[in-house]
Every structure is written in C-alpha cells, then in structure tokens.
Structure 1
C-alpha cells in the first residue's frame, strides 16, 4: 500500500531532472519517469488518484475518484507496461471514492473506499466499500454489517496472502469516531476487535507476518500479535498525524506530521529497529509525509511542502542508511489548502497521495493529482 531523472522534462506539470543516487557519488541514478496519461471517466470534471499497487513492471493498479457537479464515482486504472486502461468498477448503491488498493496476482486485486456522505443522493449512513478484481472484472465484496445508524469508512488495505489480509478505517456515529479493523480469512471479511480508542481513525495498515501487523491513524499506533490488537507507545510529542506505515526486513517505518495549526506542520518519521523506536530527522523542505515505501531497493517518504499561504508542492526523500536526503528532482504542482471534494483522509490535499513498490524492489510508483482546477491524475515512477 501501499515512487527519474535525465535531461529536464516538463510532462503534465512534473519536472524530471538529473540527479544521483544518495550515497553513490558520481553514479547515474535510475530515472524518475512519467507514463502516458491515464484515461478519464466520461463526464468527469475532476479526477484524482489516491493509491497505487505494483506487482510487476507490466502490472500496476491505481485507484481514486472522479466527480462532477452531480455525481461521484470510483476510479480504477491498470498499467500493462505500455499504457493505462480504465477498468470500470461495479455499480454501487452509494456515491463512492476509493483510497486503497493492493495486488496479490493479476487475478487477485483488492480495493477499499467509502461512501461520500456529501455527494448528491448519498444514503445515511454511508458504508465502507470492498472491491475485488478476479482478472476479468471488479465486483463488490460483502463487508461486515455495522450497527444501525453507524457510518463505516475504509482507508487502506494490505493483503499478505490470498487467505490473510487486513483493511482499516473508522466508524462514526453522532460525530464520534472509533477505529475499524477488518480481517480477510477463509474467504470472508470479519471485524477484528480493536482497542477502545475514541477519536482514532486508522489510515494505513501493513502485515509483515501473520503475527506482526501494524496499523496507524490519528495519533495512534496499533500492533497485532496473531491474537490481539494493542496500542503501542512511540516517541511522539504534541499533535501528531500518522498517515502511513511500512515494514521491511524486520524494521517498521511510520510517516506523518506534527502540526501546530493546519497550516504549520513539520514532517514526522518514526523508525523501529531491533533496539526500539526512534524519530528520524527529515532532510528539510517538506511539511507532511503522506506515504512511506519500504522495499528491497530502499526507503522513500512522499508528501508535500506547504507555504504559509496554503500552496502545496510534492516532496520526496530517500533514506541513505544514516538519514534522509531530499530528492529535489521531482517537482509537482500544488493546490489550495482546502480539501478537494471528495477525498480520503490519507491524501488530504496533497499532489502525491499514494506510493508502492513491486515485490522485487525494482520499481517504485507514486500517484496523486495536479491541483487544477480541474484536478487530474498525476503519476511518476522510478525504475
């Protein structure tokens, strides 16, 4: 759940310029590239991508949302190594936006999202959405029923195996929210008991093993040991937003921000090793980390820089082994500070919303949108 570089190219508002691999002075880096533009849904005036999943160079899925003055709908596209193809989502009973996708195989892809309760014709309450692609078409998967009057939202999904997967989000009733965790096992989604944490909305999940699953959200880190979810203490100070969690080689990474106000934020990255948790220092130049990618090829953070006037631009950093180094070769146009309607919580109003790597660690993709108006998909990849 789960992102270049020769010559100076301006493609769809993204500058791709020359750079070097961190820690390898003089060596040419793999290039950040921009694939051909994604097709847009008929009738859409705005389209955004919220998440991307990579299984191979010719098998990439991205999901998000399209909307106009009258409609809101899910948006799914597939990259076959040459071009993007729009793959229609099934008919759904509510206006829906998608915020998470994960791929196990070409015929086993999952996506999650939520009903947009601000859209015309939205039911009350709206519910979380689970979609499955079987190699031919998307279909809606049954989700556990919520109690009467309770809204459910799903933000992220991580499928460890065909029979072991997790989806996270939150429930809401009368303005009060609580964490929501779903588990896929034996061909069924069931609700997993979460700690009582009023106000916590989960935004990201990663399953490193059957007994080592991590979920993060609004100021909370949760861990599943194979039997029970518990809250984990981490070294944070002040008001913290946790947007993304990733795991590789026994280590865990969390990205987010520490905010004084909605306009004054500093990036936050937490790192868990064999010796425990510690805070890693950002290279500077960013405001919020929206996504962390941890792969065999390295660790990246993706997010944005926000000016005091609310203008935002994409920001990417890479872990060198000793610290983070900014990748200033990726420059993405920003947008206004107010939330673009409709969106999931992970992305907020960032130009780069989601990122993923392939299992071999040879490619990293990042997706989001150009600020517009109108808003349109924004995609870059490293290989």
Structure 2
C-alpha cells in the first residue's frame, strides 16, 4: 500500500550555515504565574505575536488559565472572556495574526459533574468566547483545536470530533477514545491521531489511514509544515497523493530503534550505546551523529542553524533519600559537535520558528525550580 520513492542519501556532517545576528540569545521571562503550572502549547504567529497557553494552580482542585502574548518587546497576560479564573487551557491554533483560537475546559458543573468545554477566539484586538458543543458523558471537554480559513475542528476527551463553520457545529466522528493530535491545513486537509488509529479528512470525508508494517501509531507526527509522517526501522514515510511515500535511511542507520521525534522530519535513532539525529531535507539526509547532545527536541531555522534541547538533572534531598529533578538547556549543533548555549536559564523548552524571520523562540518550565522561562534570538 505504500508508494516507494527512490532517494539518494546525502549525509551532511556539520557545516551548518551561520548568521551572526541570530547567534545571540537572551532571556525574555514571561509574566509570573503561581508556583505550580503546566505549559501546554506555544504558537508563533509572527515576530510580534507569540502565544503561550496552559494553566496554573494552587491546589489539586483550583486551576487558573495561562494565556500570554509576546509582542517582540514584552509579555502581556490575558484573561480570555468566559473562563475567568476557573479553568485550564490545553491547545492553541492560529490561522493568522487576527485569527487565533484557544481551547480548554472550565470548572465542573455542580449538577452534571462534567467539565465544560471552553473555546476562545482572538480577532487581533480582543478575546471572545465562542459557544462550543456541550459536554457529553464520554469525557466531553475539549482537548484539541485546529483552525483553518474555512472553520474550526474540535476534538474532545471522549473522541467526538466536531466542525464549526462560523454559524453552527456539526459532529463528524465519535471515536470513543481521546484524540492526541489534531491539525487542519490551508489545503483543506485535516489529520488526527488517537491511541489506536490515524484518521484523514480529504475535504469531503474522514477515513482511517492504515499504517505500513513497522510504523507505530503513537509515532505518527502531524504538523502543518510537514503533513503526516512516521518513521519505520527502514526509513521515513510521508503521506502524499493518497499513499505513504518511503525514503530509506542512509546505509548504517537502518533497523535502529527510534528514540525521539521532532517537527521537520527529525528522527532520533539509538543503538549500540550511541544515537544520532537524522533529518530528511527533501533532497538528502542531514545527520548529527554524536554520542551526546539534544535528547528532547531539535529544529533547524531558515538560516541553517540547528538548535536542540538537552536534558539536565539535579539531585536534591527528599525524605528518606535523594531524588532527581529534570529540566533542559538550549544547545547548538555546529561543525560536527553539540555545544551548550551559555548564559540562558534552564527549562524544558518548546522551540518554535518565528514566521517571517530566521529566528527562534523557546518557552518552557524549569523542572527543577518550576519557573516559567522563555528565550529568543529574535
């Protein structure tokens, strides 16, 4: 069922293009939140509009949303209409600077015991609440949102997938299990992934997409830049023209375990006590082949610089013995080596390219102190 595209593997060890004005990073600390918080999504719309969403809490039963915007100079916190200080935000989706959506939940209804779906919309000047489908007994509250020029897809915790056309909601699927990834593209296509299956919207109908042998559902990646793709022990599969197109890994990298994935066709392979990051560029393979370096995420900006996030752990006293807390740090791959970018706060950064530039922003929580951090070279 998979179409195979022959490809010549070109291994490029290091030799990354450099641009001096993007080498300097700085900390841009977000608005202070409560000591306990969970960052759920980062959406970069432009150099003057980067959104972060999540929630903060003071106890196990009192949650407050986090919604902040970086305008290129400073951060501003928003209280989206309709959620107040009683809920959690899980997902962001942006069509453009004047069309950003956020989805989450409000506190439980005292009568039904169900959390209420929350859906908010940014029109470039203010947030407004959009009426969402009511919660249902299968789990109800929204976990994923994907917006495009024609409307908005929502997926709730029970696997119900609905479409907003600007006037009304239509239920398209009722999968009976949570949706873990949902993306809608300008082309009119949409994709979603559950624990057991992958589904594709072709502009007319949803259909389940079978995976080739060796491909694992939980490793399927769905991004607007890349479409749907997944690794196998033999190579990279990318969906196109109604089938999976395969590009084999370079010689010596096949049949190794996949230990990590990152947007942009980055695949982390382990084996023999070492690992490598491989990226298919469209014409050849870029290989960062080292025994240490980015363990969590890696990205290449439009100037050719390769950035990653590596794990950091610290032993701390904890009765009756020590425990280890984990965070991350920004690193760069240059001249065949991974190097730490000095002078930056540590955090489990989510890296996003800033549209219209060759710059990057990172936002994350320091797993050791719990602080919310942000950095940029823009």
Tell me if both proteins adopt one fold, taking TM over 0.5 as the criterion: yes
The correspondence for 1:48, drawn from 14, 21, 38, is 38
Deviation at 1:75, TM superposition (A): 0.3
In 2: Cα distance, 1:121 partner to 1:380 partner:
41
Q: Per-residue deviation at 1:214?
A: 1.5
Judge conservation of contact 2:135–2:141 (CA < 8 Å) in 1: no
Conserved 8 A contact 1:53-1:355: no
CA drift at 1:78: 0.6
Which of the numbers 362, 368, 373 marks the counterpart of 2:364?
368
What is the aligned-residue RMSD (CA, Å)?
A: 4.3
Unaligned runs of 5+ in 2: 1-11, 271-275, 295-306, 314-322, 326-346
TM (norm. structure 2) is 0.65
SS, match of residue 104 in structure 1? strand
Q: Given the superposition, is the C-alpha separation of residues 123 and 62 from structure 1 closer, same or farther in structure 2, using an over 3 Å criterion?
A: farther
TM-score by length of 1: 0.64
Query: In the aligned structure 2, how far is the partner of 1:319 from the partner of 1:90?
Result: 43
Look up the match of 2:182: 204
CA distance in 1, matches of 2:111, 2:221: 28
Q: Give the structure 1 partner of residue 65 of structure 2.
A: 74
5+ residue gaps, structure 1, are 1-21, 172-178, 259-265, 293-298, 306-314, 339-349
* Residue 132 (structure 1) aligns with: 121
More moved, 268-277 vs 78-87: 268-277
1:272 counterpart (223, 226, 239): 239
Answer yes or no: is the 8 Å Cα contact 2:139–2:156 preserved in 1: no
Correspondent of 1:192 among 171, 194, 203: 171
For residues 18-73 of structure 1, what are the alpha-carbon distances to aligned partners after superposition, in whole Å with 9 as ceiling and x for unaligned?
A: xxxx77726315448454110123xx112332212222111111111111226211
Deviations 1:317-338 (A, max 9, x none): 7543333545745344457999
Equivalent of 2:87 in 87, 90, 96? 96
- Cα displacement string for residues 330-383 of structure 1 (whole angstroms, at most 9, x for unaligned residues): 344457999xxxxxxxxxxx934x5544554744444332212x4232435566
Distance 1:242 1:126 in 2: 29
Answering whether residue 15 of structure 2 is matched by residue 36 of structure 1, we say no
Residue of structure 1 aligned with 2:285, choices 323, 341, 344: 323
Confirm or deny that 1:109 pairs with 2:100: yes
Measured in 1, the distance between the counterparts of 2:74 and 2:116 equals 33
Partner of 2:228: 253
| Contact 1:31–1:382, Cα closer than 8 Å, also in 2 | yes
